[in-house]
Copies of this chain bind each other. A is one copy, B any other.
Amino acid sequence: MTDNGRVRAEVEIGTRIGHANTNRVTVRDLDLVDDLIGQVSYAELTLLAITGKRPDQGAVRIVDAILVSLMDHGLTANALAARLNYWVAPEAIQAAVATGLLGAGSRLLGSMEGCGRLLTEIRADIEEGTPRREAVRDRVRELLDADERVPGIGHNLHKGEGGDPRAAKLLAVARREGYAERYVPLVELLPEVLTELTGKSLPLNATGAIGALLMEVGVPWQLHRGFALMSRTAGLVAHVGEEIDNPLTPEIRKMLRKVSWIDEDGA
């Protein structure tokens, strides 16, 4: 042991995603300067970095559609939290954005990855020989037996026949781009099967559609919530921008002062 309490240790370390050295940066073996900057979009490089495969333009457009659909929902609770934290630490925008992302919890985004997981399980059953409709029915019944919600279905507002218009639009984009073969048909069966099993009529919602689309373009369900994080990061930066120009925090602090006077600089 050395004087500062250290010992030498060996470790096997590395990544296959990207490399940076004195001469160049590569992502998935493509050169940042020669192959990527000015040639690919954010969505394309994201899909490449995650899957390790160069996506076709259809897949890229699907990812863009997903990222667009999740960017902003107005003044949500986590956007407000981010703005409050930015106001007290404007030198650290990363802390404000992190605040907003920490509000992207299970109650808000849980059903997206839940749907991706369900579709993964159904698909595996089909690969092993279970007929499609039966596979869907078995897994949905399993959830119902465990008293769990079927993720991706139902909505507290769009209860009518039309369902959630974002879901319909996202599925239409998937069809347009030729990515509606493996998971989209499964997610579309969910409402049907649910009605069959319970009599209830609940439409597909946006998170269900997103789960199916991300599976179609090769993103494993464990990373689905990550796409909400990417998207929301942009939305949160926009909220920070508005907070700078037109701050809400003083209004909120005035409101809080009704119950607790806050000592700005007295710790």
Q: Are A75 and B260 touching (Cβ within 8 A)?
A: yes
Choose among B21, B74, B94, B263 the residue that contacts A15 (Cβ–Cβ < 8 A).
B74
Asked if A144 is at the interface of the complex by the 8 Å CB criterion, the answer is no
**Judging by beta carbons under 8 Å apart, are B266 and A206 in contact?**
yes
Query: Chain A binding site: helix, strand, loop or mixed by DSSP?
Result: helix
Chain B residues within 8 Å of A253, by CB: 77
Complex Cα distance, B69 from A27, in Å, reads: 10
Q: Given A42-B68, A64-B40, A234-B45, verify A11-B252 contact (CB < 8 Å).
A: yes
Q: Cβ of A222 < 8 Å from any Cβ of B?
A: yes
Which among A16, A41, A43, A166 has the greatest number of chain B C-beta atoms within 10 A? A41
Can you give 18 contacting A-B residue pairs, CB < 8 Å? A4-B16, A13-B256, A17-B74, A18-B71, A19-B259, A20-B73, A21-B261, A37-B65, A38-B172, A46-B234, A75-B256, A81-B99, A88-B103, A89-B107, A92-B105, A93-B226, A107-B264, A157-B263
Given contacts A6-B14, A46-B234, 11 further A-B contacts (CB under 8 A): A16-B246, A17-B72, A19-B260, A20-B262, A37-B69, A41-B42, A49-B234, A78-B85, A92-B95, A92-B102, A226-B234
Q: Which residues of A contact B (CB under 8 A)?
A: 1-2, 4-22, 24-25, 27, 32-33, 36-38, 40-43, 45-46, 49-50, 61, 63-65, 67-82, 84-85, 87-99, 101-112, 155-158, 164-166, 169-170, 172-173, 176, 205-207, 210, 220, 222-223, 225-231, 233-242, 244, 246, 248-249, 251-256, 258-267
